[in-house]
Structure 1
Amino acid sequence: MAVSAVFGVVAVLGIGSQQAYAQERVTVTGSSIKRIESEGALPVQVFTRDQIEKTGATSVADLVQSLPAMQGFTQISDSIGAGGAGQSTASLRSLGTRTLVLLNGRRMAQWAGQTLTGGGDGIDLNAIPLAAIDRIEVLTDGASALYGTDAIAGVVNFITRANFEKFDIGGGMSQPRGSVGKENHLSLTKGWGNGGSDGYNFMLSYNKDKKDPIKSTDREFSKTGELRWNEGGRALIFAGNYSTRAQPANVSIPGRGLVNPYNIANGGRCPAGHVPDPTAALSGSEFCYFDFASTVQIAPKQERESFLATATKRFGNHTAYAEFVHSTSDVTWKIAAAPVDIPIPTTSPFFPIAAGMGATAGVSARLRMQDAGNRTALDTSKANHLAVGVKGLSWGWDYDLSFLQSKNDWREYYPSGWIASNELVAALNAQTVNPFVEVGNQSAAGTAAIAGMQFIGEYKRGATQLDVLGLRGSREAFKMGGGMSMLGAGVDLRTEKASYSPSQIAQGIGNVLAGDSGAEVPFDVSRRSWGVFAELQMPLAKTLETTLAVRHDNYQGPGGSTNGKASVRWSPSRQWLFRGSVGTGLKAPAVAQTADVRQHYGVTGGSYACPFAAGDALAVLCVPGNNQYDVFAKGNPDLKPEKSQQFSIGARFEPVPQFSAGVDYWNIHLKDRIGQIDESTVFKNPVAFRSLFTSFTDPTSGATTLAINLANSNLGEAKASGLDFDAVGRAKLAIGELTSRLVWTHMLEHKVQLTKGGEFVSDLGRFGEGLAPAAGPVFRNVFRWFNSLDAGNWAHTITINYKSGYQDQTSTEDDCLAVVASTGDCAASNRTVDSYMTADYQVRYTWRKNLKLTAGVLNLTDTDAPFTLKTNGAHSKGFDPRFADPRGRTIYINASYQF
């Protein structure tokens, strides 16, 4: 058989033909030429609807992000403090937004929550309804002439149901360990008319799902930021996951540092939810760290709703079509209470507390507003996508003329926990709120004042729009030794828009949010572009085919660029196929990245010690202990496009119809990489990156502290290469048909230059600077092994999921992130994160092909997420939610009925 898959991921082999599409000429992802699907020379993975159902996935994001070729994506837990703001993305090869996502072969508007940094640049997978999807095609070879050379990593194409005539109703629920994170989903799909016999088809599809949150304390591996482990015969504590803003507040006293009145009064102990400085035994420090990780969520609450309508009408050799998608995604997330700095002049009613600890002047307090509760945000994303067109056969051409308008709207609303600075200062001056009492011990007036000082309302919003007018077609060209050559060509005109509209308080007009303050700047930018392409497929012989493609793109601003691609397919026998391709690509910066704007961008994800020696001029801006520091982001209108050179070569072997195996080697060389240097890299290399350090003055306290600038720039080159392997075997047994499939990605190289012309730094198998939105490891090996037994009406499926271990985030004695528990000495750490393997089981019963009843268990063995010291990304600590599922063992049931 010409196709292989893993739990449904099917790779087109180019040998033979697929049963469902054996005679149908279709446009295959990666080519503009209509042809029999299995004739292609490029590696395309196809994920059919039946195979989707066997995974147990209930959303497009869960499904796509589980593929072995996917690494470095933004997932929903990144909303919790990591800037994800409700978005989920696709990322092939850990190349981030260099993966192009399509719906029925057409682009969609970029997510509207994208930022100046390029964070959020990409399609939000939450906008695509899974219930309406017929299949997913993944082109793992990049720089497509048809869709655009910005698809450097590859293409993910979602194909909706076509010619559907029935009524399909489905639903289900899941329950993870501990009855938290529950999920419910419902789908309805109805079609009318047969495109073949009736000449028309109309389909409506509705999808709704809801997922409950999971708190950090719901899981043992994430319940605290006080991470303890053994390494090198020593018991160590990680000191990089705390905050010096506490309740009762830590007092900053010149010449003495931070002091906490509770710590002094209680013999070095700290209140609940706080921990003493791990170095206290050696340094004699007397302050308390706030364990913020114990108060956050590790999975947010999410509600999604989508509606899709498609229509086709045939007129002779021509077919008019239209599709419309409306979807909403609401993500509610919670992070720790607001951190604020409070000036305490000698005239303050609270100064005697500081004076009692030896202060004379220049005092401030570092407070965590726990009495206001967690900062809670609701991110709402709305997508409206309309495509209309006509396709058919005219003058020998298979043509497709289309227009699409795709919009995305994102809004962030704050329902609780966010403190308005003016009201806080007034309450402190009036002694209504006391920063030096424990949580829950404010007076009635103080409690009322805290409730009244919270900002409730829309904080910021963004909008994007994409308009595309496109024409493409294909036809036979001329006869060659292996048959007729095929010619494809096309043109598209695009307009992209992106705007950002912070509220008045977000802009710092009249007031700011205490602890989250910053004068955010609105922007409204747009760009026009056009592209033309041509593709020629030439059968040089019956067994040898080559394809040449060229595309020219012209962007308003960056200008024009011409890129080409060549591929070859050789099948010397029915058992063997060899293929290869070489090409170049170009990705222009996201529209938002080019906005000439600098603005406050929150705080660092990790906590860091002062990177400068005591005599350094910048050292006076540091805060004692390990702290989160403020960050500024800046757009850059002078960014150059990223360029790529890439090639792939592969072979497939099918000795018998019951077995097939193949391997593809791919290599991508990226130049002029757009991004920002990662925060941990900046703090670990303060000499090399001294120019990135600046200062930030808090509008609430007036205190000026250290900050960093993370401006957009062309950072240099990046290189990535690897092997994609897949195999499938089938056997008919007495009890049914057994199918075993393996899909495995083995990374050989993944490294970047942090600066142009600098040394390459690898993140392969280690925590380091990455090509994806945030630093992290690239797994050397990722595989999924699918085993299915179909026995009459019953189908049993077992899936093994594996990600290899990696070198954890390292620490040195100088940065003092790791501390010897018994002595308080700073220690170096160089540990390894364990590999992560889980097993899923599903059983499905089908009655008369109409009713399907499914039950399954994800993570059958209830394997915990591996322990890690990572400091960036989501605010959860102890594990990395980007790479491990915090739900644990999850039981689910699904049912669908079609008539």
Structure 2
Amino acid sequence: MKLRMKSMHIAVLQVLATGAFSVGAAGSAMAQATPGAEAPQRVVVTGSLISRTDTETAAPVQVITAQEIQRSGKTSIAELLSDLASNGAGTLGTGFSGAFANGASGVSLRGLTVGSTLVLIDGHRMSPYAIGDDSQRSFVDVSNIPFDAIDSIEVLKSGASSLYGSDAVAGVVNIKLKKSFNGTRFSADSGTTEHGGGTTHRASLSTGFGDLDADGYNVFATAEWRRQGAIRIDDRKQFAWDDLDWSKRGGQNLTYGVPNARNSFLSPGSSPFLYNPSGAGGAQNAANFLFLDPTCNYTAYRAGGCAKEDTYGFIQPETENKNLLVGFTKKLPQDWEMSIKASVFQRDNLNNRGMPPAYSPTSFAGTNVNNNGALTPGFGAIPSTTFAPGAAVGSSLTNPFGNNARLYGYIPGLDGTSQQQNKATTTRLAVDFTGAAMGWDMQLAGGLTKSKVEVDYSGFVDRTALYSLLRSGQWNALGGNTQSLIDQVSPRFSNTLESKLNYVDVVGSRELMSQLGAGPLKLAVGAHWHKRTWDAPPSPLTLNGQVGSTSAFVFGEETNKAIFAELAATPINNVEFNLSSRYDKFDTNKSFTPAATLKWTPMKEVALRGTFARGFRSPNPAETGNSGSFFLYHGINDPILCANGQQYSAGNVPGACNIQPTYVQRPNKDLSPEKSKSYTLGAVLQPFKGLNATIDYYNIEVRNQIVTAAGNDPTYVETFVRGPAVPLDIATGVGNNVVVGTPSVGPILFAESAYINGGSTKTSGVETDIGYRWNLNENGVLRANLSYAHTISYEQTVAGVTYQLAGTQGPSVVSGATGSPKDRAQLSLGWTRGPLDINTTLNYTSSFSALDPSVGGTDCTTAAADIAGRNYFQNLSQPLQYCHVPSFTTTNLNVQYKVSPNLTLKGSILNVFDRQPPFDLSTYGNATTQTSYNASLHQAGAVGRFLSLGLAYTF
């Protein structure tokens, strides 16, 4: 299967060429009029404002029905959408616990980032998540939308700014919620992973009354609860991708507490210790170490016997969802209808970043560290872990050495690692009126939407307070400290961030002429208004410099006013033509975006189609308002303290080699919108009954992209702000020996980088959908659906140089270096017979290179360090096998059995064959540096085999 899947795109094209198959959206069909039959129902499909009987439009639209959602075996919409074949680089998954927007999930169609995919709810805008992806990109969090409230999901895979405005550059995901419900339905399921952790429970209750036709109204409510247990790093420690001892594979042993050349033989372990770097007889000997806990000594420490296991970091965060949707639909006089929906979707999740804080230097956002015991924050005071001879080192110890000594070890008594408890609450009140007036079909809508994130921080360290308590003798380095002292060292604090978006939409459509050529001429016109505010202050302790590594801050707002129109005509038989355009005015910019589509159906079995569209993405408040954040994006050597890149060359500071420098992101009020141009060419085929297929070629070019100046502006001068020159370990040039000395300059603190309009991205590919339904009469019905996406090219221009990134790790500056595999596919096979329904789904991701030339990652022997700053092979040659990320396929099985008209039982196995994720050393979009897999593409492998049972009962 693996070998066949690798060449899937070639095989599909060969089959298409023979005419045996064609490609299309699963479940879609061309409308065919039957004499005497009832007139088909007219619907509005995402990507058009004009209703139609044929749901297969000129633009490619993939429809996922509620039944298909239930058959997937998934328990969350985030998991479901992450498997979309068209979801590419920059997709944001919940497995990336270190992300700016941790806990949330976003869709990145065609790999153009979550900021270029517009997510709608019932065709209307929704407030973006209160925390931006990479502190910059606005996106709608799909992780807290309840399963049972969804009627269908429509994925428009073409640019749609001409109808929907900003952000619809790569396409649109329209999540349609239920419009009405009658009766009562209860469903529940529970499951767990085979290897431990991740136990998940879900329960849903839907109830409603009133028949729209008979009673003129319907009222319903859907409530859902879901709790997903955490999967910790130590739950998967038996697998190689979760093993820090890379010496087994020709690299460095990164296990916490194991000394080696990488960490200058100084690593916090199971016992805190004092180290005298200037002691007689050479620094690295037993006489210059004092271990505070008798469970460890110098001999055991040097042999790796004082290692400390990471029992804190998450592969999958602990999450709880509580969701409520209430709907009311009422028929009004003169065929008008009113629909009101109110919803509260809430997600609680806990995220952490691995090991607890240590007395020795720790690296986190906003801070750079050298391995000498002196922490150098980007802002605020500069405490040190160096203690003078005879000075107090906590309540039970003074420095017994004749020289300055350093304290290494994990800080006891803290609540584990630095962690964030996020409560994300999404609220929405939407009112829609539909009807007819003065010959127009009218849609009037308004809504109030808000995303609110309340963050409670714990486990962060006020290092000034810590060192003050150590030196005063009040703090015991071994633990047993009072809660009041712990609260001083690790204060708990909180923060509230909000994003609001209120909108008004007005759309009217009618026939202008009953006959123009071979059909009527139809017109739709509309207007849109929305106001968005983003109020995301920094936490109070971040603001005053007490702690680091918290969320970015944003203050700003935007107002958008737009008018738009669409014309639809059939100028000649079997030819449909649509022309649309939109004019948007924001506070700081304006855009005009036209589009045209064409569909020709020469015979009932075949239709050819194409689209052309202009698009744009307006700068958001994080880019133009009052905002700031820290970011890391590549690995470098300090140009002064490690000029030749050799850690132990004479005069180098070993801790200044292979670092990820911190950048301070600045906004730019003079930014212009990103602009795009896209087109698609495709075919819709129904060669025989039961088979529906589409194949579409797409080509998208995005110019004027809003990017940070660092690494993107050829005129940008990287000016690092440095701390004071303090005593550091300096290499002697003899082996790994070092001496303590004061270098010519201090360590790098940060460099500033503003947003600019610079660079471009151009991508093209082929996407296919095949749906086949075979009626076996008394033996049931077989179903087969294939969704497949092949990226032909993904070119990114950075600092005036164009790089081909299709099939590589790039663009690694986006959302954790998630990679750009050329091929993704989803194959679903189902069989239904009577009460039994069996569905199997295969999800495939092709292999790709672990290199990213756009950030200088062109050497297989140093790829992990160059791209992600990961030191698996620091000072060693990275084996060529890790320059290639293998393909990955998972198989899911879902079985449903209808025991009675009211009761349905189901069972699911996700990742049936327990496929483990392939190694990906160049990504940083996963839990911590301990795990070396790609959480965006291969998270199912890290979770492992997942088994669940459930039921649904209708009253």
User: TM-score, length-normalised on structure 2?
Assistant: 0.81
Contact 1:109 1:465 in 2 (8 A): yes
- 2: CA distance between counterparts of 1:673 and 1:169? 47
User: Where does residue 61 of structure 2 map in the other structure?
Assistant: 44
> Does residue 136 in structure 1 map to residue 166 in structure 2?
no
SS at match of 1:30: coil
- 2: CA distance between counterparts of 1:73 and 1:585? 19
Range 77-86 or range 313-322, more displaced: 77-86
Offset at 1:12?
4.0
- 2: CA distance between counterparts of 1:193 and 1:613? 75
Offset at 1:431?
3.4
Offset at 1:94?
1.4
> Does residue 663 in structure 1 map to residue 707 in structure 2?
no
Contact 1:724 1:746 in 2 (8 A): yes
- 2: CA distance between counterparts of 1:30 and 1:812? 44
> Does residue 789 in structure 1 map to residue 821 in structure 2?
no
- 2: CA distance between counterparts of 1:576 and 1:313? 41
List aligned pairs for 1:403-552, cutoff 5 A.
Answer: 403-414=446-457, 416-433=458-475, 442=478, 444-445=480-481, 449-450=485-486, 453-458=489-494, 460-478=495-513, 479-508=515-544, 512-513=546-547, 516=548, 523-552=554-583
- 1: CA distance between counterparts of 2:23 and 2:313? 34
> Does residue 95 in structure 1 map to residue 112 in structure 2?
yes
1:57 pairs with one of 55, 61, 74: 74
For 2:497, give the aligned amino acid. Answer: G
When residues 697 and 578 of structure 1 are mapped into structure 2, their CA distance, relative to the original with a 3 A threshold, is: farther
- 2: CA distance between counterparts of 1:565 and 1:588? 18
Contact 1:225 1:294 in 2 (8 A): no
- 2: CA distance between counterparts of 1:451 and 1:698? 32
> Does residue 840 in structure 1 map to residue 892 in structure 2?
yes
Offset at 1:863?
0.7
1:774 pairs with one of 816, 839, 860: 816
> Does residue 673 in structure 1 map to residue 689 in structure 2?
no
2:602 pairs with one of 572, 588, 602: 572
Deviations 1:690-735 (A, max 9, x none): 5164336899x99853434453222310011111012223333352
When residues 493 and 747 of structure 1 are mapped into structure 2, their CA distance, relative to the original with a 3 A threshold, is: same
For 1:790, give the aligned amino acid. Answer: T
For 1:304, give the aligned amino acid. Answer: N
User: Where does residue 843 of structure 2 map in the other structure?
Assistant: 801
- 2: CA distance between counterparts of 1:697 and 1:189? 63
List aligned pairs for 1:675-694, cutoff 5 A.
Answer: 675-676=707-708, 691=718, 693-694=720-721
For 1:178, give the aligned amino acid. Answer: H
- 1: CA distance between counterparts of 2:792 and 2:122? 33
Q: Could you say which structure has the higher strand fraction?
A: 1
- 2: CA distance between counterparts of 1:860 and 1:198? 48
- 2: CA distance between counterparts of 1:346 and 1:328? 52
Offset at 1:421?
2.9
User: TM-score, length-normalised on structure 1?
Assistant: 0.86
- C-alpha root-mean-square deviation of aligned residues, in Å? 4.2
Range 633-642 or range 141-150, more displaced: 141-150
Give the percent of matched residue pairs that are identical in Structure 1 and Structure 2. Answer: 23
User: Where does residue 585 of structure 2 map in the other structure?
Assistant: 554
> Does residue 765 in structure 1 map to residue 807 in structure 2?
yes
> Does residue 30 in structure 1 map to residue 83 in structure 2?
no
User: Where does residue 950 of structure 2 map in the other structure?
Assistant: 894
- 1: CA distance between counterparts of 2:25 and 2:503? 30
> Does residue 182 in structure 1 map to residue 199 in structure 2?
yes
When residues 664 and 521 of structure 1 are mapped into structure 2, their CA distance, relative to the original with a 3 A threshold, is: closer
SS at match of 1:146: helix
When residues 485 and 716 of structure 1 are mapped into structure 2, their CA distance, relative to the original with a 3 A threshold, is: same
- 1: CA distance between counterparts of 2:862 and 2:823? 33
- 2: CA distance between counterparts of 1:501 and 1:823? 38
When residues 203 and 771 of structure 1 are mapped into structure 2, their CA distance, relative to the original with a 3 A threshold, is: farther
Offset at 1:664?
0.2
For 1:512, give the aligned amino acid. Answer: Q
For 2:779, give the aligned amino acid. Answer: I
User: Where does residue 589 of structure 1 map in the other structure?
Assistant: 619
1:736 pairs with one of 765, 775, 780: 780
Range 663-672 or range 763-772, more displaced: 763-772
SS at match of 1:125: coil
> Does residue 10 in structure 1 map to residue 26 in structure 2?
yes
> Does residue 879 in structure 1 map to residue 879 in structure 2?
no
- 1: CA distance between counterparts of 2:208 and 2:725? 58
- 2: CA distance between counterparts of 1:568 and 1:697? 65
Range 624-633 or range 123-132, more displaced: 624-633
Offset at 1:544?
0.6
2:902 pairs with one of 850, 872, 897: 850
User: Where does residue 268 of structure 2 map in the other structure?
Assistant: 246
For 1:663, give the aligned amino acid. Answer: I
When residues 152 and 171 of structure 1 are mapped into structure 2, their CA distance, relative to the original with a 3 A threshold, is: same
How many residues in Structure 1 have an aligned counterpart in Structure 2? 854
Deviations 1:832-856 (A, max 9, x none): 1111011111211124443221111
- 2: CA distance between counterparts of 1:329 and 1:576? 46
When residues 140 and 262 of structure 1 are mapped into structure 2, their CA distance, relative to the original with a 3 A threshold, is: farther
Offset at 1:451?
6.0
Contact 1:274 1:291 in 2 (8 A): no
Offset at 1:346?
3.3
When residues 652 and 343 of structure 1 are mapped into structure 2, their CA distance, relative to the original with a 3 A threshold, is: same
Contact 2:850 2:920 in 1 (8 A): yes
- 1: CA distance between counterparts of 2:602 and 2:170? 29
SS at match of 2:540: coil
User: Where does residue 365 of structure 2 map in the other structure?
Assistant: none
Contact 2:279 2:288 in 1 (8 A): no
Offset at 1:882?
1.2
Offset at 1:868?
1.7
Offset at 1:622?
7.9
When residues 692 and 598 of structure 1 are mapped into structure 2, their CA distance, relative to the original with a 3 A threshold, is: farther
For 1:834, give the aligned amino acid. Answer: P
- 1: CA distance between counterparts of 2:75 and 2:612? 37
Which sections of structure 2, spanning at least 5 residues, go unmatched? 1-19, 257-261, 362-374, 376-383, 646-650, 729-744, 852-856
Offset at 1:274?
14
